[in-house]
Amino acid sequence: MSLGPVGCWLETDPANPLHPFPADELGAAWPDIHLRTTPQEFSELSLHRWNEFALKQAEPTQVVESFPFQSSIRVLMQMNGSRETIDKYWSRWQSTVAALNPVLIFLEEANPRELITKAFETRGPVWTDYFLQSVEQMPFASTRQLEGMEAAVGLLTHYNRLINELASAAPFPVLTCEARPSDYAERQARVNRYLNLENV
């Protein structure tokens, strides 16, 4: 497989064509999105964006950070969308992008609590406060009366379990790698081999 020219859409890119709503400078948490739309409406908005994207993206190959899970499935989950709503979205998303021959590079996390603790240490207090305040506003946390670190860990643990289930049942090629490997260079080399990339 030859990828040819490659474009990349980052999660925080304000021009990201897949976001139903603009991301902010620290991410796409959208903590108050439940005040603007419902899980069903968000699903339709997201799938509409994906459909437009699929119609335009024959070339070059596109890398979309944080999709299809973090900026869509996670949002439905944080809004307390039902599993039926999430499964329906996942099925319709697969149909929408099937003609693009997608490949998912899935970074699997073994310890959500350790992950978020490390993220707080690495990103510092500004991002930590942003993340914790965002999670506490989400219906997922508020309906469970979760606050602070326990809200963050609860969200990520549930999300981690959910996306592992969805990725394991994906009908297209999936390369599963450790999210935080001991050797990042080897992980990148493994991805390159999987995609038949040379001189990268």
Token pair belonging to 119: 């993220």
The pLDDT assigned to 57 comes to 66
The pLDDT assigned to 68 comes to 92
Q: 74 exposed, middle or buried (CB, 10 Å; 0-12, 13-18, 19+)?
A: buried
Question: CB neighbours (10 Å) of residue 151?
Answer: 23
Question: CB neighbours (10 Å) of residue 192?
Answer: 13
Radius of gyration, CA atoms only, the chain: 17
The pLDDT assigned to 4 comes to 60
Token pair belonging to 84: 């039926």
- pTM summary value: 0.90
Task: Say if CB 146 and CB 191 are below 8 A apart.
Answer: no
How many Å separate Cα 47 from the centre of its chain?
14
The pLDDT assigned to 61 comes to 82
The pLDDT assigned to 171 comes to 94
The pLDDT assigned to 27 comes to 79
Give me the average pLDDT of each 10-residue run along the chain (200 residues). 71 89 84 95 96 80 91 96 97 94 94 96 95 96 96 96 95 95 96 76
Task: Say if CB 138 and CB 34 are below 8 A apart.
Answer: yes
Which residue type sits at 57?
Q
How many Å separate Cα 105 from the centre of its chain?
11
The pLDDT assigned to 1 comes to 44
